[in-house]
């Protein structure tokens, strides 16, 4: 082998990013529901505001059969079906012109012509899970302070005290069933 030749490294097979695969699958699912562009689903809160988005969700975007797309590939005059929970349907019906105007301003052309409102329960939204930290009992606080009195550094001692309070306060929610520090 010559001094200038580089050794050939074995080829490693890498998987493509999962985001690319998910986007392909999601795109076909959204297209079946009329959402060729998923922007309205992802940005519904910004379009209608938090107050209305909490009680409504876009379901389907339907174009009439005679609608042709323009030279940019955009179609206009669609009907947006929205599922609405409770009495907010009346408010959305009242605000329909403003909502359509905001949707069309978001897309940059007259994509939606009217809204079709369906009253019914919305799918449950995932809420962030936060652990509930109970306040420490006096004997737990005293035991924690006793464990931490060996530490001289004030910043470290304070950080470990906060950590200890969270660990003890979240351990099973009951006294005695906690890890030893």
160-176: per-residue pLDDT in tens?
A: 999 998 888 886 545 54
Q: What is the pLDDT of residues 123-154, one digit of tens each?
A: 777 666 677 788 889 999 999 999 999 889 99
Which of 32-39's residues contact partners 24+ apart within 8 Å by CB, and which partners?
A: 33/59, 33/60, 33/61, 34/60, 34/61, 34/62, 34/63, 34/78, 35/60, 35/61, 36/61, 39/106, 39/107
pLDDT of residue 101: 93
DSSP 10: P
CATH number of this structure's domain 30-119: 3.30.300
pLDDT at residue 178 in the model: 47
Whole-number average pLDDT of the chain:
77
pLDDT digits (tens, 9 = 90+) for 41-73: 778 888 888 888 888 988 888 877 655 555 455
Q: Supply the pTM of this predicted model.
A: 0.49
Is 96 exposed, middle or buried, given 0-12, 13-18 or 19+ CB atoms closer than 10 A? middle
């Amino acid at each position: 082998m010559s001094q200038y030749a580089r050794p050939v490294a074995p080829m490693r097979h890498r998987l493509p990013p999962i985001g690319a695969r998910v986007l392909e699958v999601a795109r076909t699912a959204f297209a079946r529901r009329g959402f060729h562009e998923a922007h309205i689903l992802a940005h519904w809160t910004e379009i209608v505001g938090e107050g209305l988005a909490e009680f409504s969700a876009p379901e389907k975007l339907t174009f009439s059969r005679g609608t042709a797309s323009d030279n940019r590939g955009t179609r206009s005059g669609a009907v947006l079906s929205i599922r609405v929970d409770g009495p907010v349907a009346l408010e959305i019906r009242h605000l329909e012109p403003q909502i359509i105007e905001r949707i069309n301003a978001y897309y940059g052309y007259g994509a939606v012509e009217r809204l079709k409102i369906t009253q019914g329960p919305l799918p449950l939204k995932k809420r962030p899970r936060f652990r509930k930290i109970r306040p420490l009992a006096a004997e737990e606080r005293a035991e924690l302070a006793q464990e931490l009195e060996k530490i001289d550094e004030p910043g470290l001692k304070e950080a470990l005290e906060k950590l200890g309070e969270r660990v003890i306060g979240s351990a099973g929610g009951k006294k005695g069933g906690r890890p030893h520090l």
